[in-house]
């Protein structure tokens, strides 16, 4: 996954219904501190008891300045004065029981790799076994390397939309889905005439820092 690619962080944000996510491919705006605090305040006023913020390793803002879990914690504590904890997932992110799909994936890709070896000759180009939809496919190794470098170059040039597009359709769909879900507002009847939530709770914030562990 490397340092600047955090597909895992994006999927984690979707599955955990995170209130905010920082990923390198979609840098935070210049005023992200204000937007983050406003978002968390709205969620709290709507009665939400727990907020989750996902911070990917390599997260940056539009100027290329790094955003770390500790920095996000400081912003939340200084502005909202709420109990905030940082959890670095590390190996924990690999836990959980495998699904049926997970269990047979290794066998499927292993079988495709063996077939590729049996069909190869001295002129065969090195390849990577991958999935296209639900189909095991062979992708030329140098093509993968070229695309990976293209993403890194796009991010270095601050061409964020191009970088997201180069990540593939699945990444684009997940990113758009997450953005759409986070734009949804609580129902109007959740607030009183002053705009405050009708139900108030003590709120704790958890900031997850996703690091890839080799």
Domains of the chain: 7-210 (3.40.50.460)
Nearest CA among 65, 35, 66 for reference residue 53: 35
- Cα dihedral 178, 10, 164, 104 sign: negative
Tens place of pLDDT for every residue, the chain, 214 residues?
Answer: 444 457 888 888 888 889 999 998 889 998 999 999 999 988 888 778 889 999 988 899 988 899 999 999 999 999 998 889 998 877 666 667 888 988 899 999 999 999 999 999 989 999 999 988 889 999 999 999 998 899 889 988 888 889 888 888 888 899 999 888 887 666 666 556 655 555 544 445 555 555 544 4
Between CA 133 and CA 183 the distance in angstroms is 28
- Is-above-0.75 flag for pTM? no
Report the relative pairing of strands 127-132 and 135-140 from DSSP bridges: antiparallel
With vertex at residue 63, the alpha carbon angle to CA 53 and CA 213, rounded to the nearest 5 degrees, is 45
């Amino acid at each position: 996954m490397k340092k600047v690619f955090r597909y895992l962080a994006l999927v984690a944000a979707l599955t955990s219904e995170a209130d905010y996510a920082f990923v390198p491919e979609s840098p935070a705006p210049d005023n992200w501190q204000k937007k983050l605090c406003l978002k968390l305040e709205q969620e709290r006023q709507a009665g939400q008891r727990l907020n989750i913020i996902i911070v990917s390793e390599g997260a940056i803002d539009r100027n290329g300045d790094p955003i770390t879990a500790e920095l996000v914690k400081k912003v939340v504590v200084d502005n909202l004065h709420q109990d905030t904890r940082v959890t670095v997932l590390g190996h924990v992110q690999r836990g959980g029981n495998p699904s049926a799909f997970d269990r047979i994936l290794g066998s499927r890709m292993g079988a495709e790799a063996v077939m590729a070896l049996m069909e190869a000759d001295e002129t065969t180009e090195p390849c990577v076994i991958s999935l296209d939809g639900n189909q095991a496919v062979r992708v030329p190794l140098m093509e993968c390397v070229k695309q990976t470098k293209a993403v890194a170059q796009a991010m270095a040039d601050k061409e964020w939309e191009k970088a997201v597009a180069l990540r593939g359709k699945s990444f684009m769909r997940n990113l758009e889905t997450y953005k759409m879900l986070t734009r949804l507002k609580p129902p109007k009847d959740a607030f009183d005439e002053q705009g405050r939530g009708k139900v108030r709770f003590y709120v704790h914030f958890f900031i997850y820092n996703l690091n890839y562990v080799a």
